[in-house]
Amino acid sequence: MTNTARHTTAIILAAGLGTRMKSRLPKALHRLGNRPMITHLIETAREVFDDVVVVVGPDMPELERVVQPCKTVVQADRLGTAHATNMAKDLFGDGDIAVLYADNPLITAETMRRLTAARQSGASLALLGMRPANPGRYGRIVEEQGRVSRIVEFKDATEDERQITLCNAGVMCAGADDFRTWLAAVDNNNAQGEYYLTDVVAMAAVQGPVQCVESPETELAGVNSRAELAQAEATLQARLRTAAMEAGVTLVSPETTFLSTDTVLEPDVVVEPNVFFGPGVTVRSGALIRAFSHLEGCTVGEGAMIGPYARLRPGTVCAADTHVGNFVELKNVDLGRGAKANHLTYLGDASVGAETNVGAGTVTCNYDGYFKHRTIIGERNFIGSDSILVAPVTIGDDALIAAGSTITEDVPAEGLAFGRARQVVKPGRGLEIKQTLKAKKEQG
C-alpha cells in the first residue's frame, strides 16, 4: 500500500482474448513461474496501490476466480483500451488511478512507485516508456520542445514518427477526475476504429506537463504471443535465480535451474544442474538437490540429499538428513529423519520412520483401482530390495523385510517377514531348455 495520503487505485485491463496466443485460455491466465501472469501483476500492485480493480471480458469465470478478492468489472464489447478503462470509472475513487495491463506482468513495485511519485510531483499525467531493441509495432511517445505531447499508435504513425525510439509501455497514472473527463472525450477516429487510451496523453499535455518514466524493456515488454511469453519467463527466471543466489543459495548452473515464484530455498542449499522446482517447494538449509531432479509441492529438510534423477511429488516431506536417490519417486510421503531410499523405488501414500533403509525396487502398492491406501513403516527398518508392500499395511520398528517379498499383512516390531515363493532348483534343466529353444529358432 502506498505511504502517501492521496488514495491510489490500480485499474488492470485483462479483457483481452490473446488471439496471437492461439489459445482458448484468456491471455491473462497464461502462466509465468507456475502461476497466472495476472497474479504477478496483482501482487505487485497491492504493494503500491490502495485498491486494485480488474477489467475482464465476458464469459471469463475462471479469470474472475483467479483475481479474487479484487473488484472486477466486465467489458462486454471490446472497443479498445480507453473503453475498457471507462468501464471501471465508477470505481476510480477521488484520488489517483494508474492503468496497468495484464500482459505486462513483470513491472516491479519500484517502477510503480516511480510512476506514482512522478504524478504526485506535479505532472498532469505520468506514463511508462522504454527504448526496446526492436521498437516494432509499439506506439511512439512524441516529444515537443523536450516535453511529452502525445502518443501515436504504430498504425497511425508517419514514417518520421516510426523512427522515434521512445516507446509507450501503456501504463499511465493521473487524477481520477481528470481521467473521467479525458475518457469521455476519446473518439475512435483511427486506423483500428477503437477508443485508444493513449489519446488521453495529448489531452493531459494541454492541461499540464506529462512526465515519462523510463524503465528497461525486460520489465515493460508485453506478452502477446507464445514467443513473448517464453521471453518473459526467461526474464522472471533470471530474477528468481539472482534473488536465490543473493540469499546464499548455490546454483551450480543457474541457467538450467527452473524456479517457481513461491520456491523457498534457504541459505547453503546447493542445486546441481537441470533441476525443476514446481509450485509449493521449500528446501531447508544445507540440503543438496542433485542434477535432473523434479520437485513439486514438497518440503526437503536440513542436510537432506535428493537425486540425481529423483522426483518428489505433492505432499512429500523429507526430514533432515534423508537420502532420496536416483530414479526414486515419492508421492505424499513422510520420510523420517535419516531415512534412505537410494534407488529405483516408488513410495506413495506412506510414512517411513527415522533411520529406515528402503532397498532398490521397493514399491508401495497404494491404489486398488478405486481408493488410495497408506503404508506405515516404522523406525530403523530394513526393507529388502524388490519388496512389494500392498497397502494398507503397517511394519513395526526394527523389522526386516526379506528381499523380493510381497507383504500383504502387518509385520510386528522386530519381526522378520518373508513373502516370496520357495525357490526350486532342477540341475541340468536350464541347459536343456536353452538347447531346445535354440534348435527351434534355427528351424525357423
Residue set of the binding site: 13-16, 27, 75, 80-81, 103, 139, 153, 168, 224, 313, 331, 346, 357, 360, 366-367, 385, 403, 420
* Residues 245 and 251 sit within 8 Å (Cβ to Cβ): yes
Of 32, 3, 33, 27, nearest in space to 15 by CA: 27
Of 260, 298, 302, nearest in space to 282 by CA: 298
Residues 346 and 355: their CA atoms lie apart, in Å, by 18
89 three-state secondary structure = helix
Distances 421 to 72, 256, 265, 367, 394 between C-alpha atoms, Å? 66, 47, 47, 24, 22
Catalytic-labelled residue, pool 7, 294, 343, 373: 343
Q: Which residues are annotated as a binding site for acetyl-CoA?
A: 360, 366-367, 385, 403, 420
Residues 202 and 168: their CA atoms lie apart, in Å, by 13
Q: Which residues are annotated as a binding site for Mg(2+)?
A: 103, 224
CA neighbours within 13 Å on the CB side: how many for 175? 13
Residues 355 and 353: their CA atoms lie apart, in Å, by 7
91 three-state secondary structure = helix
Question: Cα–chain-centroid distance for residue 191?
Answer: 37
> Which helix (H) or strand (E) covers residue 149, if one does?
strand 147-152
- Indicate if the alpha-carbon torsion angle 152, 158, 161, 163 is positive or negative: positive
Q: How many Å from the N-terminal Cα to the C-terminal Cα in the chain?
A: 82
* Residues 82 and 200 sit within 8 Å (Cβ to Cβ): yes
CB atoms within 10 A of CB 421: 7
Phi, psi at residue 311, to the nearest 5°?
-130, 120
Q: Which residues contact 270 (CB under 8 A, 6 or more apart)?
A: 249, 250, 252, 287, 288, 289
343 noted as active-site residue: yes
- Indicate if the alpha-carbon torsion angle 258, 260, 263, 267 is positive or negative: positive
Across 336-399, where does the E strand assignment appear? 340-352, 357-358, 363-365, 375-377, 382-383, 388-390, 393-395
Cell of 186: 476519446
The 3-state DSSP composition of the chain as helix, strand, coil percent (nearest 5) reads 25, 30, 45
Q: Which residues are catalytic?
A: 343
